[in-house]
């Protein structure tokens, strides 16, 4: 009986010391203060108001990817000479290596491909709507060598490249 009483007192003493130690840590330590974290009291300060335009509700990358190419319309005037000139600069930054300076798919890098990259002045390419060009530039060509450039080129710059490619016309 004495052993059980002594054991009970020792266990009670250990528990008391543990509780006092935890209370001391909670009162004086700067860490482990869960009651003061934003997880516990999230609405003590007013929530920030999100500015308009931060979350895209139209023309987001996900919406563009899910759209059919035929349904996509450029936010830019694809016949504007300034847009075409900007597209030409972008073409020579991103597309020239494969499609070449003559737009025939015989660029320095493109020559090593089999089959060669597409001739951008072919009837097939020039007859496609701009939205299809945009999707192929953005997300690549299935079973083709066109890499997806959506993460490399901003949306409006991709439309500028489309304007330039469409301005080339059919090779004669």
Domain ranges of the chain: 2-36, 61-168
Q: Which listed CATH number (3.10.20.600, 1.10.287.70, 3.90.78.10, 1.10.760.10) goes with 61-168? A: 1.10.760.10
* Degrees to nearest 5, angle at CA 82 with 122 and 76: 75
Specify whether the CB–CB gap between 69 and 129 falls below 8 A. Answer: yes
Helices and strands in the chain: count of H runs, count of E runs: 7, 0
Q: Which token pair is 5?
A: 């009483």
| Residue range 74-120, pLDDT digits in tens | 999 999 999 999 999 999 999 999 999 999 988 898 888 888 888 99
Note the pLDDT tens digit of each residue in 116-154. 888 999 999 999 999 999 999 999 987 777 889 999 999
């Amino acid at each position: 009986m004495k052993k059980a009483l002594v054991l009970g007192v020792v266990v009670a003493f250990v528990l008391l010391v543990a509780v006092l130690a935890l209370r001391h840590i909670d009162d004086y330590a700067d860490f482990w203060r869960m009651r003061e974290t934003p997880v516990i009291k999230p609405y003590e300060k007013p929530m920030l108001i999100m500015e308009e335009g931060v979350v895209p509700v139209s023309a987001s990358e996900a919406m563009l990817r899910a759209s059919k190419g035929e349904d996509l319309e450029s936010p830019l005037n694809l016949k504007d000479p300034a847009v075409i000139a900007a597209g030409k600069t972008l073409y020579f930054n991103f597309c020239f290596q494969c499609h070449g300076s003559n737009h025939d798919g015989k660029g320095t890098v493109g020559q090593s491909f089999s089959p060669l990259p597409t001739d951008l002045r072919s009837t097939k390419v020039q007859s496609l709507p701009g939205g299809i060009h945009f999707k192929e530039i953005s997300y690549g060509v299935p079973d083709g060598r066109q890499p997806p450039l959506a993460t490399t080129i901003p949306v409006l710059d991709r439309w500028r490249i489309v304007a330039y490619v469409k301005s080339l016309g059919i090779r004669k």
